[in-house]
Amino acid sequence: MDIIIDVKNLNAWYGEKQVLYNVSLQIPRYNITAIIGPSGCGKTTFLRCLNRLHELTPGNRVEGEIYFYGKNFKGNIYDSKVDPVEIRRHMGMVFQKPNPFPMLSVYDNVAIGLKINGIRDKKKIDEIVMDSLKKAYLLDEVKDALHKSGASLSGGQQQRLCIARAIAYNPEVILLDEPTSALDPVATSKIEQLLVELKREYTIVIVTHNMQQAARIADYTAFMYLGKLIEFAPTEELFETPKNELTERYITGKFG
């Protein structure tokens, strides 16, 4: 198995409260890996550790190692010599609530990631923006509204804009934090299709509270509970024959 992210003994704290306990996990390249679990199980924290976003909130702390085997970076992203800003450029992130920059146009929302990566050539920017919008299945819907505010789109369009924004600067991994929880079923299914399409070029890690979603799109699924990784397996295996009693009880809804 071709591993792109190798998490080793990850512990994380939220202030004084420990939220991740010794999580070890290997994320395969060009696959969709879903992380499921009840709310508060640490799945979002785990995701935010992958691009070193968790530590940004004052008081938060992370221990452990995450090896990232990218094209331009190989090594432990928690090494003290590593600049977290650089790591984040290898990974795109899409959040629970669509959060396009409302003060920027649709076009600039996508272009801004290129600018921070030092791309100045107008023609090249234009090309990449259009390409990203197309990849995000959005171009047809917004090609007449490229210069309207990013906030003027519908919820589903906004989320696809966020995906376009995340893939524009060509990251290797896309992290998604419950990207469809604020969307209706039609918008949700569009995004799911999109993700399955995108895994040909990107490695996708998605946190979802919707198990069916994980079952539909993920190649591998991890179940977390109370800050621990309980089970990690190919999706069909996890959903048909889970090895762990907790997983079984959670996914069949026999919890609590």
Partner 1 sequence: MRLIDEGLARLNSKIIRMANLSRETVELAVRAYLKNERLTEKIFNNSETLRILQDEVSELAVELIARYQPVASDLRYIKSCMEIAYGFSRFGRYAYDIMQVLEVFGDLSSCDQTKIIKANDIVHKMINLSIEAFINKDLAKAEEVDKMDDDIDDIYESHLSNLIKEKPQDLRCAVSATLILRYLERIADHASYIAEAVLYIVKGERRPRK
Partner 2 sequence: MIKKIKLYNILFVAICSLALIITLVPLIWILAEVIANGISAISFSLLTNLPAPPGIPGGGIGNYIQGTIILSAVASLIGFPVGLLMGIFISEYREHKFAPVVRFFVDVFAEFPAIVIGIFVYVIIVRGDIFKLFGINALCLGSICIGPTGFSAIAGSISLALLMIPIVTKSVEEALNLVPTSIKEAALAMGMPRWRMVLTISLSYARGGLILSYILALSRIAGEAAPLLLTVLGSFYWFTSFYDRIGALPLAIFTYGLSPYEDYRAQAWAASLLLILVVLILNIALRILIERRMIR
Tell the smallest beta-carbon distance from residue 248 to partner 1 (Å). 5
Tell the smallest beta-carbon distance from residue 190 to partner 1 (Å). 20
The tokens describing 191, both together, are 């995004």
Which residues ranging from 134 to 163 are in contact with partner 2 (CB under 8 A)? 162
DSSP code at position 189: H
Residues 161 and 167: beta-carbon distance below 8 Å? no
Q: Kindly indicate which of the ranges 93-101, 141-149, 204-212, 215-223 contains the residues binding partner 2, using the contact rule CB under 8 A.
A: 93-101
The rounded distance, in Å, linking the Cα atoms of 229 and 34 is 12
Residues 155 and 183: beta-carbon distance below 8 Å? yes
247 binds, among partner 1, partner 2, none (CB under 5 to 8 A by kind): partner 1
Look at the block and give the residue holding tokens 């070193």: 52
DSSP code at position 145: -
- Residue length, the chain? 256
Largest CA distance in the chain: 57
Instruction: Among 140, 185, 241, 256, indicate the residue that binds partner 1 (CB under 8 A).
Output: 241
Q: Is 38 left (phi over 0), alpha (psi -120 to 50) or beta?
A: beta
Nearer residue to partner 1 within complex by CB, 18 or 189: 189
252 binds, among partner 1, partner 2, none (CB under 5 to 8 A by kind): partner 1
Instruction: Among 79, 126, 127, 240, indicate the residue that binds partner 1 (CB under 8 A).
Output: 240
Question: Residue 127 interacts with partner 1 (CB under 8 A)?
Answer: no
Site string for partner 2, 30-59 (x = CB under 8 A): ---------------------x-x--x-xx
The tokens describing 140, both together, are 């047809």
Give the binding site for partner 1 (CB under 8 A). 211-212, 215, 239-242, 247-248, 251-254
